[in-house]
Amino acid sequence: MSTPSYSDETDFFRQRGFGHRIGFGKTPALLVVDIVKAFTDPKRPLGSDLDAQVEAINALIDAAHAAGAPVIYSTVSYENKNLKDAGIWALKQSGTATLVADGDGPELDERLHWQDGDSLLVKKYASCFFGTDLVSRLLAYGADTLIVTGATTSGCVRASAVDACQTGFRPMVVREAVGDRSTQAHEQSLFDLDVKYADVVGLEETLAYLNGLENVR
């Protein structure tokens, strides 16, 4: 039996009623997931080459700033040197040791276009929603749409997009602005998100949306 092609599987899911468009809402927030030194330095255990993604993310940050949309960055940081606050996750991957707070692993990549008024979310696990005040922040902003960027597609990006959907925000995952250590995991996660939990959208489409907004703050 031959393996179904990507297009065959897409058609199969569409025929079954999956993959309808959610669409952008009226008041977006931009989420930049874990673009930190531990992830953007390919020489580190958790790192990979995300240069192209950083460039795309910066274009979105600039557009969000111009539109007055909130920009929220996330990082993973552990206070306990023995990773007690990483729980079971520390047993699964030794690279969590590079995210201890007294090192530079949790620091945002210096290339990001941070400006005053942006905010930083510190988390312990994959989803930006789990154990954080992200929902409260988004409600305070009046956001109905969460534009999701960052790393990794199969991990923290996917978990955050799924939780956005489950929490009632429109998750829009920007294809060119998310990355992963594994190409296969990246593509499979985008496929899965697009048919079940989020809209996977293009960079130019998202920039056009942001550029067309009146000041949302």
Q: Return all residues near 59 (Cβ < 8 A) that are at least 6 apart.
A: 203, 207
Q: How is 89-146 classified by DSSP, letter by letter?
A: HHHH-GGGGGGBTTSSTTSBPTTS---BTBEEEEESSS-SSTTSSHHHHHHHHT--EE
**Which is higher by pLDDT, 62 or 80?**
62
Per-residue model confidence as pLDDT tens digits over 147-163 = 999 999 999 999 999 99
> Is 176 among the domain residues?
yes
| Residues tagged active-site | 156
Question: What is the pLDDT, as a whole number, of residue 73?
Answer: 98
Q: In this structure, what CATH number is given to the domain that contains residue 99?
A: 3.40.50.850
> Is 13 among the domain residues?
no
Q: Is the pLDDT of residue 13 over 60?
A: yes
141, 111 contact by CB (below 8 A): no
> Is 7 among the domain residues?
no
Question: What is the pLDDT, as a whole number, of residue 85?
Answer: 93
Which residues constitute the domain of residue 93? 25-211
pTM of the predicted model, to two decimals? Answer: 0.93
Question: What is the pLDDT, as a whole number, of residue 15?
Answer: 73
Mean pLDDT of 108-114: 98
What average pLDDT is seen over the chain?
93
| Coil, strand or helix at 49 | coil
Per-residue model confidence as pLDDT tens digits over 65-89 = 999 999 999 999 999 989 999 999 9
Question: What is the pLDDT, as a whole number, of residue 217?
Answer: 60
Specify the number of domains making up the chain: 1
Distance CA 98, CA 45 (A): 8
Could you tell me the two tokens for 26?
């009226």
Q: Return all residues near 101 (Cβ < 8 A) that are at least 6 apart.
A: 77, 78, 79
Q: Residue 6 — pLDDT band, cuts 50, 70, 90?
A: low
Q: What is the maximum span of the chain, computed from C-alpha positions, in angstroms?
A: 57
> Is 205 among the domain residues?
yes
> Is 10 among the domain residues?
no
Question: What is the pLDDT, as a whole number, of residue 215?
Answer: 64
Q: Is the pLDDT of residue 16 over 80?
A: no
Per-residue model confidence as pLDDT tens digits over 157-200 = 999 999 999 999 999 999 999 999 999 999 999 999 999 999 99
Q: Is the pLDDT of residue 19 over 80?
A: no
- Kindly report the number of other CB atoms within 10 A of residue 180's CB atom: 22
Distance CA 30, CA 217 (A): 13
Q: Is the pLDDT of residue 216 over 70?
A: no
> Is 15 among the domain residues?
no
